Amino acid sequence: MYLSKKLFLTGKYRLPLSKKLFLTFVSPRKRMSYDDIAACEDTANVDDLFDRWESEKNGILRVIHESPHVVTSVWNDPSRYSNDRYCSSYQLCPQCSNISHLSDSQRSFMVECGSRAGQKYNVSSYSTMPSTVVKESLKALVSRLLQINPEVMKCGTDSNSANLTYLASNPFANNLLVSWIVGDTLRNNNIPNREHVAIAYSCAGHSKLVVEDAKAVDSKLLSTPDQVSALIRQLVVVYHCLNENSLNHGNPVISSLKYDEKAIGYLYDGILVDCPFTLMLSNFSLSTISFGMSRLLPESSSKWREQGLLFGPLVKPASCQTGFCESNTYTITSKNLSLFQHMKYVGCPLFTGSLDLYCFLVSLACMPGVMGLILSGDSLRHTWSKLWTIKDRETIEKRVSRVTGQPDALQVLSLLKDLELRCDLLNVLVDDARG
Ligand SMILES: [Zn+2]
């Protein structure tokens, strides 16, 4: 369905005359570059607009997958990304113009027709422009880390990690790219637990993100053991599926989880998900993820020293003396805390399928009333007890009971300090979820 004629009147851009003349001969069906005056004419139909955004996302991900070394230019290529310095209320940039087709507000809108009718989107604004660079120096650092500590390859690190191309992006671009990769992997596996980031664009010195509306997880959502169990089950499915991308979230706390009130039901790899709400991971600005032979990571601040992160043995082999007979384990200590804090800037997968889940579960347990719910549900309590040695379980429950407010990622790492953490946590949780 096409929107009204007045919608075509909003998209006027500054262009040299020679370019305008040239455009007269461009077929209207061809996808136009964002420096073309007619860039928005074939996206007045809302489904066409979202389809075009989808194809732009795929185009940018294809560059990362096939030619990671040219990704640095992707944000300045008007055939791939809308980056307009001159946007104003008098002359909207192409994407603001596209959004004005849907709503008078540039902050949120609801799609009123087409296949997404009724879906709400939010537009958030950032004061930075996207940037991505190839970090050649990380290959040597990762290679050295694997040499000093080969045991990490038994705890979530891929042996191929030193051969990857490391692409560091600023928080805005990293959030966008990782959310797209996460969303695509989940969609390819028919898992509906995904936040949908439709498109990003930059105008007048700011960058905008257009994301499907979702709510922050809070204690109102979790008032029974079944609801806590439903959240954990969905988190486990998402991490099980994303294991192929070796996701390290970088900020694995409750504030990085969102939900939609839609009930969902599906079977994934023997795990039945039948939940009254749809959980999704969000907030990927500090995440690291593998995609083909590339690994995406957040750009580093200058405050940490790469060489200071090369520690001796981090991973202990399985031993019944440690309490876990079948799993390798690792421990966060005062000495190695900086590695856990800064490992996102090293980039390579570390403790994948373990540390994120420990952090999310402890962050969850710190929410008001949730520890009581975990201990009151039979299967939840059973699952919780498998996370810890007997001695450590007492320690973590005491620590959680003393927490006031919602801890940030560093505080959650501190809550886990000196405890024996199992490398096979994801498998344990998957087995329990299959139950
Ligand atoms: Zn604009």
- Please give the distance, rounded to the nearest whole angstrom, from the Cα atom of residue 226 to the centre of ligand 1: 45
- Please give the distance, rounded to the nearest whole angstrom, from the Cα atom of residue 95 to the centre of ligand 1: 6
- Please give the distance, rounded to the nearest whole angstrom, from the Cα atom of residue 12 to the centre of ligand 1: 12
Is it the case that residue 305 has pLDDT exceeding 90? no
- Please give the distance, rounded to the nearest whole angstrom, from the Cα atom of residue 201 to the centre of ligand 1: 8
Banded pLDDT at 61 (limits 50, 70, 90): very high
User: What is the pLDDT, as a whole number, of residue 389?
Assistant: 92
Number of domains in the chain: 1
- Please give the distance, rounded to the nearest whole angstrom, from the Cα atom of residue 24 to the centre of ligand 1: 24
Enter the pTM of the model. Answer: 0.90
Greater confidence (30 vs 346) lies with 346
- Please give the distance, rounded to the nearest whole angstrom, from the Cα atom of residue 11 to the centre of ligand 1: 10
User: What is the pLDDT, as a whole number, of residue 166?
Assistant: 95
Report if residue 394 sits inside a domain.
yes
- Please give the distance, rounded to the nearest whole angstrom, from the Cα atom of residue 123 to the centre of ligand 1: 12
- Please give the distance, rounded to the nearest whole angstrom, from the Cα atom of residue 89 to the centre of ligand 1: 9
User: What is the pLDDT, as a whole number, of residue 103?
Assistant: 83
Report if residue 419 sits inside a domain.
yes
User: What is the pLDDT, as a whole number, of residue 308?
Assistant: 65
Comparing 230-234, 275-279, 341-345, 384-388, the range with the smallest average pLDDT is 341-345
- Please give the distance, rounded to the nearest whole angstrom, from the Cα atom of residue 173 to the centre of ligand 1: 17
Is it the case that residue 252 has pLDDT exceeding 80? yes
- Please give the distance, rounded to the nearest whole angstrom, from the Cα atom of residue 74 to the centre of ligand 1: 18
Greater confidence (411 vs 90) lies with 411
- Please give the distance, rounded to the nearest whole angstrom, from the Cα atom of residue 105 to the centre of ligand 1: 12
Report if residue 93 sits inside a domain.
no
- Please give the distance, rounded to the nearest whole angstrom, from the Cα atom of residue 84 to the centre of ligand 1: 7
- Please give the distance, rounded to the nearest whole angstrom, from the Cα atom of residue 34 to the centre of ligand 1: 12
- Please give the distance, rounded to the nearest whole angstrom, from the Cα atom of residue 204 to the centre of ligand 1: 7
User: What is the pLDDT, as a whole number, of residue 178?
Assistant: 98
User: What is the pLDDT, as a whole number, of residue 302?
Assistant: 63
- Please give the distance, rounded to the nearest whole angstrom, from the Cα atom of residue 86 to the centre of ligand 1: 8
CA 367 – CA 256 distance, rounded (Å): 14
| Mean model confidence pLDDT for the chain | 88
User: What is the pLDDT, as a whole number, of residue 275?
Assistant: 94
- Please give the distance, rounded to the nearest whole angstrom, from the Cα atom of residue 29 to the centre of ligand 1: 24
- Please give the distance, rounded to the nearest whole angstrom, from the Cα atom of residue 83 to the centre of ligand 1: 9
- Please give the distance, rounded to the nearest whole angstrom, from the Cα atom of residue 101 to the centre of ligand 1: 13
User: What is the pLDDT, as a whole number, of residue 42?
Assistant: 67
- Please give the distance, rounded to the nearest whole angstrom, from the Cα atom of residue 107 to the centre of ligand 1: 12
Greater confidence (89 vs 58) lies with 58
- Please give the distance, rounded to the nearest whole angstrom, from the Cα atom of residue 118 to the centre of ligand 1: 24
Banded pLDDT at 15 (limits 50, 70, 90): very low
Q: What is the mean pLDDT of residues 108-117?
A: 90
- Please give the distance, rounded to the nearest whole angstrom, from the Cα atom of residue 227 to the centre of ligand 1: 41
- Please give the distance, rounded to the nearest whole angstrom, from the Cα atom of residue 57 to the centre of ligand 1: 18
Report if residue 40 sits inside a domain.
no
Report if residue 90 sits inside a domain.
no
- Please give the distance, rounded to the nearest whole angstrom, from the Cα atom of residue 202 to the centre of ligand 1: 7
- Please give the distance, rounded to the nearest whole angstrom, from the Cα atom of residue 258 to the centre of ligand 1: 27
Report if residue 59 sits inside a domain.
no
Report if residue 190 sits inside a domain.
yes
Report if residue 28 sits inside a domain.
no
Is it the case that residue 353 has pLDDT exceeding 70? yes
CB burial class (10 A; 0-12, 13-18, 19+) of residue 153?
middle
Q: What is the mean pLDDT of residues 405-419?
A: 96
Is it the case that residue 8 has pLDDT exceeding 50? no
Q: What percent of the chain has pLDDT over 90?
A: 66
User: What is the pLDDT, as a whole number, of residue 378?
Assistant: 87
Is it the case that residue 13 has pLDDT exceeding 60? no
Task: Look up the domain containing 177 and give its range.
Answer: 132-434
- Please give the distance, rounded to the nearest whole angstrom, from the Cα atom of residue 36 to the centre of ligand 1: 15
- Please give the distance, rounded to the nearest whole angstrom, from the Cα atom of residue 92 to the centre of ligand 1: 5
CA 364 – CA 372 distance, rounded (Å): 11
- Please give the distance, rounded to the nearest whole angstrom, from the Cα atom of residue 164 to the centre of ligand 1: 36
